[in-house]
Amino acid sequence: MAFVALIRAGFGMDWCRTLHAAWLIMRATQLWAPIPGNDPGGARACMRRFYALVRLSCGEPASPAEAARLEVDWWRVHREAGRAAGPRGAGDELVESLTRLYSYLYGEPADDVRPAAMHRARAMDLSDEWVDEGCRPDSPLLAREHAALVRGYAALLAAVHH
């Protein structure tokens, strides 16, 4: 339910649109999730519809299709990084993919939103590490992930509110 409330507060949608938007995101992640056999096109289609709802409420993004393409692209990059051999780390490709999304969505220069992307990628690395270690609820990784997310959102807020 917190996810639904976050969408409502974040986008100022009425309850009907909020529930529809939450369903679209959930459906997109369901279509993306299976390994192998996921449906990137279906995930993009759901996210395009989600961003179309966002545009109805907020006037942006100009192209829901482009926003959806950029959104699902970072999902792809994150998945590929997670399946690669070797230690995890907020890779440059993931940071750049998130930077492109943030720059497009918020209409800010890439250099201004890159710090937010770096913190977000670091939070993903910590979350992945937590999963790899068995999802212990007392793991110190959770506090580090939370801190990285807070830093990421603070950096994004600073970038978009000059």
pLDDT tens, 105-157? Answer: 999 999 999 999 999 999 999 999 999 999 999 999 999 999 999 999 999 99
Residue 73 domain flag: no
Q: Are residues 137 and 96 in the same domain?
A: yes
Task: Quickly state the pLDDT bin for 88 (edges 50, 70, 90).
Answer: low
Q: Are residues 57 and 91 in the same domain?
A: no
Task: Quickly state the pLDDT bin for 22 (edges 50, 70, 90).
Answer: very high
Distance CA 10, CA 13 (A): 8
Distance CA 120, CA 115 (A): 9
Distance CA 67, CA 59 (A): 13
Q: Are residues 100 and 148 in the same domain?
A: yes
Kindly state the average pLDDT of the residues 28-39: 95
Cβ count near 35 (within 10 Å): 9
Domain enclosing residue 101, as ranges = 87-162
Structural domains of the chain, count: 2
Residue 47 domain flag: yes
Q: Are residues 27 and 96 in the same domain?
A: no
Residue 80 domain flag: no
Residue 70 domain flag: no
Q: Is the pTM of this model over 0.85?
A: yes
In a 13 Å sphere around the CA of 115, the CA atoms on its Cβ side amount to 11
Q: Are residues 58 and 94 in the same domain?
A: no
Task: Quickly state the pLDDT bin for 162 (edges 50, 70, 90).
Answer: confident
Q: Are residues 47 and 107 in the same domain?
A: no
